[in-house]
Amino acid sequence: MGGDKHDLSYYVKCMIGGTLACGLTHTAIVPLDVVKCRRQVFPTLYKSLGDGLSTISKTEGFGGLTLAWGPTLIGYSLQGLGKFGFYEIFKDVYKSVVGEENANKYRRIGWSIASGSAEIIADTLLCPMEAIKVRMQTSKPGSFTTSGTQAFNQVKGNEGINGLYKGLGPLWARQVPYTIVKFVAFEQIVALFYENVFTKPKDSYSKFTQLSVTFASGYLAGIFCAVVSHPADTIVSKLNSIQTGGSLGENVGKIYKEIGFSGLWRGLGTRIIMIGTLTGLQWWIYDSFKTAVGLQTTGGGSSAPKPQETKH
């Protein structure tokens, strides 16, 4: 993105783009998320994704399919702000520390450090709303409030700050590897597209073509993300679905003893569909916003100049 001036305005635009990318996409797939979380916590509740959607629609109506959409929108908007905005900041910090030539030469390391650091911040912003979302979605109908505001007050009142942040460790365990894979795989796949398929200068292609590359790269990256992060995702769902005592390690140990190794992978097929689509759309929305405000799309082209990579 050599043509973009990386000043405060640039970072703010990236934060807004990230807010839209994560907030809108996660809210749009709340019905899938409800089924996914319930299947992780109650493995015999639904036979499949389709059965879950059908059953919830019949027994709980539209409200059941959109359960916890408010906490989802707030939480993942905040996460997107941190994830995408601080990724851009940390990439530039890394470049300033090692120099532009080394940053290009070891760019995969830079992508990893930048995305992992950004996700630590992003998850801290997300965690309270994630706890509320999972509690609402995995509680048996009628046993817990369906109001996001009431749920927040109830969890905070009964369990204090710990109730909102007890899932932060597992959330980091799920999201930091997920995000590193998401960003590194995306950047690498975009680079491969522009090196092997669209071999002219990136700026010579239409915005439609560039955004199509963005979506395809994001979707493929999302498949890797789903596999890497699924076991921790299952633990987060189980942990936040119940009121627990004891230390985090004790609770995770109890959950693993209950569900076993195979239980960690329950619902993976549903999550691959969900995360692949989600990741592709997130990158597409993010880059669409960037181009709308005059910035370049992410990755490829000028983001990894070949002449500088081959210097000795």
| CA proximity to 23, closest of 68, 87, 86, 73 | 73
**In-domain check, residue 3:** no
Is residue 2 domain-resident? no
Q: Residue 311: helix, strand or coil by DSSP?
A: coil
| 36 is a domain residue | yes
The span from the first CA to the last CA of the chain, in angstroms, equals 23
Q: Are 171 and 130 in contact (CB under 8 A)?
A: yes
Which of 37-41, 90-94, 146-150 is the least confident region? 37-41
What pLDDT shows up at residue 97?
95
Q: Are 295 and 214 in contact (CB under 8 A)?
A: no
pLDDT over 90, % of the chain = 51
Secondary structure class of 42 (helix, strand, coil) = coil
Q: How far apart are CA 236 and CA 69, in angstroms?
A: 18
Please give the pLDDT value at position 243. Answer: 57
Domain for residue 258, yes or no?
Answer: yes
pLDDT at residue 305 is higher than 50: no
- pLDDT confidence bin for 303, thresholds 50/70/90: very low
Q: Is residue 167 assigned to a domain?
A: yes
- Asked which of 5-14, 116-125, 136-145 is least confident by mean pLDDT, the reply is 136-145
Given a contact cutoff of 8 angstroms between Cβ atoms, the answer to whether 115 and 182 are in contact is yes
What's the rounded Cα separation, in Å, for the pair 167 and 279? 22
Please count the structural domains in the chain. 1
Q: Per-residue pLDDT for 141 more than 70?
A: yes
DSSP 3-state helix, strand, coil percentages of the chain (rounded to 5)?
A: 80, 0, 20
How many H-runs (helices) and E-runs (strands) does the chain carry?
A: 12, 0
Q: Which domain holds residue 120?
A: 8-309
CATH number, domain of 137, equals: 1.50.40.10
pLDDT confidence band for 307 (50 / 70 / 90): very low
Quick check: is 1 in a domain? no
Q: What is the pLDDT of residue 266?
A: 73
pLDDT at 54: 92
82 part of a folded domain = yes
Q: Tens digits of per-residue pLDDT, 236-274?
A: 777 766 555 667 677 777 777 777 777 777 778 777 887
pLDDT grade, residue 94 (50/70/90)? very high
At 108-126, the pLDDT tens digits run 999 999 999 999 999 999 9
Q: Is the pLDDT of residue 309 over 50?
A: no
Q: What number is the average pLDDT over the span 56-83?
A: 94
What's the pLDDT tens digit per position in 18-53?
A: 999 999 999 998 998 898 888 877 888 888 889 999
pLDDT at 277: 85
CA-based max dimension of the chain: 67
Tell me the pLDDT tens digit for each residue of 157-171. 888 888 899 889 888
pTM of this structure: 0.79
The answer to the question of residue 110 being in a domain is yes
Helical axes 69-98 vs 148-165, angle rounded to 10°: 40
Q: Which of the four pLDDT bands, split at 50, 70 and 90, describes residue 4?
A: confident
Q: What burial letters (b/e) apply to 195-231, b meaning 16+ CB within 10 Å?
A: eeebeeebeebeeeebbebbbbbbbbbbbbbbebbbb
Residue type, 237: S
The DSSP element (H or E) to which 235 belongs, if any, is helix 207-241
